[in-house]
Each structure stands twice: as C-alpha cells, then as structure tokens.
Chain A
C-alpha cells in the first residue's frame, strides 16, 4: 500500500482567500485542513476592520491562513504545494503564487500550478460517493458567478472546452436580474427562495441559443427582458415570486438542455455539476432527473456541498491529480496566468 501524500492547496484567484491540506492515497481523501477567509477572525488578529483594499489584496489573509494551516509542524505538514496559477485577477493571483514559491524554496518540496477550473471539476471528486463513480469520459458543467463552461475530461489532467457562455455567467445572470428587482446581493439564493412560491411559467423570458446546435450559451439578454417585464408589471401588480421563478426556470432550462445535449454528443460516462451555482437546488434536481430519464447509464456527480464556492481543498485535489501525472513547476519561474484556458498546458 502506498503512503499518504499531503497536498497543501492555496487559492487567491478572485475574492476568497483559502488554504487547505488534503491527505490523499489513491482514491482516498482526508481533509486535514480546509480554511476560507470568512472562517477566520482576522479582524481580531489585525486589530480592527480590514479595509476592502487589503481584503482584496489577500496578503493578510494568506499569511494568517497559512500560519493556522501549517501549525507547529510548519514545513513538515505537507509533501506537495498546489497553488491556483489562473485564470483570475492578476493582482490577486500573485499573492498566492508568491506565498507558494517561498514555501517551495524553503521546503524544497514540489510545486504545482493549478488551473482554477480544474479545481472546480475536482470539487466533485471531493465527495466520497462521487469518487466511486468518477468515470471517463466525464462532462463537467462549471457554473458560477464568473464561469459557465462545459468541459470534457478524458482523464485526470486531460480537458477540452466544448461550450461556454458568450457573455454573462449564469451566476451573474441570477445576481443582476435580482438587482433589477431590488433584491439584496447575492441574488442567486434570493431568487431561489422566492421562486419556491412562484409560477415558473408566469413570465415568458428568452432562452437564446437553445437550439443552435452548439454547446454555447447566452444570458445577457435576460437583464433587458426582466427589466421590461418588471417595469410593465408594476402597473399590473406582478408578483415578485413569479418573476423569480421564471428567471430561475429560464436559466436552469438552458443549462440543463445544453448539458444533456453535450453529454449525448460526447457519449460521456458521467456528468459533474460544479461551481457556486451548483448550490441551486432546482438545477441540481432538474439535471439529475433529466439524466435519469434520458441517459440512464450516465453517472451523475453533483458537487460536494462543502466545496461549492471558491476553496483550496479543490485546488489541492487537482494538484494531487497533477502530482500523480508527474507535473512539476519550477518555483523560480512560476508566474500568474490570468487568462489561462482549461485544456492548454
């Protein structure tokens, strides 16, 4: 039996700062540490409110989370370092990368730059039930505030983008249409909550590109459609529950339709649903039900609920895959890759 490999994951590609340590052996995974900024009382440590500028620059969070994750064993608490190298905001990516480079220099341990989207795919693998049926080819729908992508995975580390949004991400469509209705941020959960009491067919909203034969999507037209329906509805006493349910229905229908079409086209063995919007219950259930009905032999792997939003456990998991594949990066040369498409080396 091989020994456990402890992978330190560092994520700072956008808003969240996260550090995790996973212990992996074959298909077994233990979460040794799994820390995200919001879980740590940074304000106490730094004596006062952290200005937003500093919060977005990630520096104090990264130092604090690393101190906490490494603990007394320090550099002896991990065997491999995995860091998000891109895509993301350059100024934010550099914080995690510089920390990882210093740790690689001091510890002499291997360093691996991970694609953030591969990390999201790996978040499905973090669920033990999913790991047992993680079979290739696998189709992943990565759907969040910043991403809406359909990715074919032929093996660990082998990806091909086959479809994506042409404008707004699905999570952004939830947030912005919620804003147009005067709902507080973030809009996704607000829409989902209101939709429970609404009629999803009350308001006709566009489903662009639904039958265009590609696996691409478009959500930016929803903003104007919702604004017009909302404004016109003020006179007629439109119910916000109905608008919310109609918005959710329009977004979910496009995502599910395109995912099923792509799964059928690529003859995949399993379908994973990952990213922040995978928390949406109607999306999770609708995709699961449609797969059961239409492609009963295809396995369904919805994301691990513990690792849905940006986190470092998923970066460590993808880092473990890459480590097993033999990937190693030189700490002396590692730079941020803000526009790194998944599938490009």
Chain B
C-alpha cells in the first residue's frame, strides 16, 4: 500500500514515523531512498523519537552501522541505522553484518542508500520503503510503501 506525505519542515516527519509505527514489528527492515540532503537521517531521528528512544540518531555515513535502544510497541527494543553511502561495490553489503544485527531480539533496521549494495533477499524484498524527493526551495515529498 502506497501513501504520499508532504513534509514541509522537520516536524513533518512525525506523521510519516507515526504511520510506520502502526504496523512495524521486530525483524522488519525499512529501506530509505533519496538524494543527498533529502532527509533520510532526519526521518530516522523522528522514527527513533516515535519508538520512545532517548538517544538521537546521528548520521551513520562514516560509522556505517549505529544501534539505538528504544521502547517501541510490539516489543521493538532496538533500532539499527545503516548507511551504504560510502560502500563502493555491491558485495560490500557483507561488511555491514546485517544478518547478525537481526539476531538480536526486538531489532528493526533502517537502511540508507540500499540501492548501492546487493542486499540479501531477506532485506531487498522488504515491504517497507520510503522514497524522498526534495522540492524547491524547501520541503519534501515522501512516498511510503507499507504492507497491506
């Protein structure tokens, strides 16, 4: 099911996060797409907040993987924020240790720049996707796909 949000400012991401929160479960994977500066990390900060997280996610570009404790519904206890921006070849997906991350109970994954790497089917076939398009001079159109 597709839904489009008009995100006018930082607070606009809360509605997108709230919609995802209605159905997100441990083990779910969310793919985030959009150009540099689209707001993928800013959205993830809104998601962490919605999940009851105390720590504010920072850009994972350099670290590649960052994990945050949260207190979400349906026993979601951990948000892992991943960024493939710096990876140079599709095979480098292995370096992220994605399967290992999901072994921790209560984990959900948010992956930025998924199109840069060859994700295992378990991740690439996820029903959760957010595609962000910046508008001029500001604001974004966010297209959310969630399971029916």
Query: Taking beta carbons and an 8 Å cutoff, which residues of A are in contact with B?
Result: 14, 51-53, 56-57, 87-92, 144-147, 164-169, 171-172, 176, 179-180, 220, 223-224, 227-228, 338-339
Given the known A-B contacts A52-B88, A167-B58, A223-B36, are A91 and B95 also in contact in the complex, defined by CB atoms under 8 Å? yes
CA gap between A144 and B92 in the complex, in Å? 23
Residue among B67, B92, B97, B136 making CB contact with A339, cutoff 8 Å: B67
**Residue B133 is within 8 A (CB to CB) of chain A in the complex:** no
| Given A14-B63, A220-B59, A179-B36 contact (CB < 8 Å) | yes
Min CB–CB distance B60 → chain A (angstroms)? 9
Q: Which residue of A lies closest to B138 (CB)?
A: A224
CB atoms of B136 and A338 under 8 A apart: no
One of A56, A172, A179 near B59 (C-beta < 8 A): A172
Known: A53-B91, A146-B63, A167-B58. 19 other contacts (CB 8 A): A14-B62, A52-B91, A52-B92, A56-B95, A57-B95, A89-B63, A90-B65, A90-B100, A91-B95, A164-B58, A165-B58, A168-B59, A172-B62, A176-B36, A220-B41, A223-B36, A227-B134, A338-B65, A339-B67
Chain A residues positioned under 8 Å from B63 (CB to CB): 14, 87-89, 146
Find out whether the CB atom of A51 lies under 8 angstroms from the CB atom of B91.
Answer: yes
CB distance from B26 to the nearest CB of A (A): 19
State in angstroms the CA–CA spacing of A164 and B67 once bound together. 17
Chain A CB within 8 A of B64 CB: yes
* Assembled-state Cα–Cα distance A223/B45 (Å): 17
Q: Which of A91, A145, A228 contacts B97 (CB 8 A)?
A: A91
- Residue from B37, B68, B96 in contact with A227 in the complex, judged by beta carbons closer than 8 Å: B37
- Is A167's CB under 8 angstroms from B59's CB? yes
Contact partner of B58 (CB less than 8 A), chosen from A56, A166, A224, is: A166
- Bitwise, B61-81 to A at CB < 8 A (1) or not (0) is 111111110000000000000
Cβ of B37: which chain A residues have Cβ within 8 Å of it? 176, 180, 220, 223-224, 227
Q: A212 to nearest B CB, angstroms? A: 15
- Give 29 A-B contacts (CB < 8 Å), ordered by A residue: A14-B63, A51-B91, A53-B91, A53-B92, A53-B95, A87-B63, A88-B63, A89-B95, A90-B65, A90-B97, A91-B95, A144-B62, A145-B62, A146-B61, A147-B62, A164-B58, A165-B58, A167-B45, A168-B59, A168-B61, A169-B58, A179-B36, A180-B36, A220-B59, A224-B134, A227-B36, A228-B137, A339-B67, A339-B68
The interface residues of chain A lying within 8 Å CB-to-CB of B97 are 89-91
Chain A: CB-nearest residue to B95 = A56
The CA-CA distance from A165 to B95 in the complex, in Å, is 26
Q: Which residue of chain B has the shortest Cβ distance to A58 in the bound complex?
A: B95
B37, B56, B65, B91, most chain A CB atoms within 10 A? B37
Q: How far is the CA of A169 from the CA of B66 in the complex (A)?
A: 14
In Å, the complex CA distance between A51 and B93 comes to 13
A220 touches B42 (CB 8 A): yes
Complex Cα–Cα for A39 and B84 (A): 26
Q: Which residues of A contact B8 (CB under 8 A)?
A: none
Tell me how far the C-beta of A291 lies from the nearest C-beta in chain B, rounded to whole angstroms: 27
Q: Residue on B with the closest CB to A168?
A: B59
CB distance from A62 to the nearest CB of B (A): 15
Q: Is the CB of B59 within 8 A of A89?
A: no
- The complex places the Cα of A57 from the Cα of B64 at a distance, in Å, of 13
The complex places the Cα of A179 from the Cα of B61 at a distance, in Å, of: 14
The distance from the CB of B33 to the nearest CB of chain A, in whole angstroms, is 16
